[in-house]
Amino acid sequence: DTAVSQTPKYLVTQMGNDKSIKCEQNLGHDTMYWYKQDSKKFLKIMFSYNNKELIINETVPNRFSPKSPDKAHLNLHINSLELGDSAVYFCASSRTGQILTDTQYFGPGTRLTVL
Amino acid sequence: SQQGEEDPQALSIQEGENATMNCSYKTSINNLQWYRQNSGRGLVHLILIRSNEREKHSGRLRVTLDTSKKSSSLLITASRAADTASYFCATVHSNSGYALNFGKGTSLLVTP
């Protein structure tokens, strides 16, 4: 039973295309996150949703748009893909979003390659 | 910036040896967490240490925190080949909202 799942695992696409990455958690958690890990393994928060509401929106191009249809899903849509978007994108969730105590559970990642 | 920085960037040891990784950060924190990432996988939470704690243990893991030096260390005792992974520290600051601030990680290789 996968706690946090992402699809697809690999995504190879051309510049300029629009693509989506899906994330689902079956842990009953209230808060979900998207992180981007670059080629140097640096992991940076992009977005956070708590009960379907946007909490964190870091300095991310507005080509990236998260969508949370319900609290178990947080999808990431990317418009007009650029070479610099190539990275591994991780979805994560936590029980309440109380960062002082909560553990975050990560999905397996989606490796996006933009050609 | 707020993110932690791990040291060393890469570490290679033999099975049975201890591995020590360090993390330094710049601003005051509420807590600090260590995560492990196996190749091609997501991150797995290892341990959380609060700013008022100095040491924490979990199995073969020992984490220390020195807030005066703004640093933490992760010690893995009696390492095994299965410990081969990247290890990240992540800090939580009072003004960081719900976000973890990750460092760049230490790549640990444990050879049989």
Contact B29, B51 (CB under 8 A): yes
pLDDT at B1: 45
Cα–Cα distances (Å) from A86 to A20, A67, B102, in that order, read: 14, 20, 19
Q: How far apart are CA B55 and CA A7, in angstroms?
A: 38
Q: How far apart are CA A25 and CA A20, in angstroms?
A: 17
Return the CA Rg of chain B.
Answer: 13
pLDDT in tens, A20-39: 999 999 999 999 999 999 88
Do B100 and A109 lie within an 8 Å CB cutoff? Answer: no
Domain count, chain B: 1
Mean pLDDT throughout B19-23?
Answer: 95
Inform me whether the C-beta atom of residue B46 falls under 8 Å from chain A C-beta atoms: no
Has residue B109 got a pLDDT over 50? yes
Range of weakest confidence among A55-59, B28-32, B60-64, B79-83: A55-59
Where do the structural domains in chain A lie, given as residue ranges? 4-102
B69 burial via Cβ count (<10 Å: 0-12, 13-18, 19+): exposed
Cα–Cα distances (Å) from A17 to A65, A66, A83, B47, in that order, read: 14, 17, 11, 40
Which structural domain, as residue segments, surrounds residue B45?
Answer: 5-111
Whichever domain contains B78, its CATH number is: 2.60.40.10
Structure tokens at B31: 């807590």
Residues forming a β-bridge with A5: A24
- Closest C-alpha to A107, from B99, B45, B102, B42: B42
pLDDT at B61: 97
- Fold held by A4-102: Immunoglobulin-like (2.60.40)
pLDDT in tens, A52-101: 788 777 778 899 999 999 989 999 999 999 999 999 999 999 988 776 67
Beta-strand relationship, B106-111 and B10-14: parallel
pLDDT at A48: 87
Q: Give residue B7's pLDDT band: very low, low, confident or very high (50, 70, 90).
A: confident
For chain B, what is the largest distance between any 2 Cα atoms, rounded to a whole number of angstroms?
Answer: 44
Q: How far apart are CA B61 and CA A30, in angstroms?
A: 29
Mean pLDDT throughout B26-35?
Answer: 89
Q: Name which of A88, A98, A99 to mutate to probe chain B: the one with the most chain B Cβ atoms within 10 A of its Cβ.
A: A99
Beta-strand relationship, B55-58 and B61-66: antiparallel
pLDDT at B10: 93
pLDDT at A47: 86
Which carries the bigger pLDDT value, residue B103 or residue B11?
B11
pLDDT at A2: 65
Contacts of A90 in chain B (CB under 8 A): 42-43
Mean pLDDT throughout A2-16?
Answer: 93
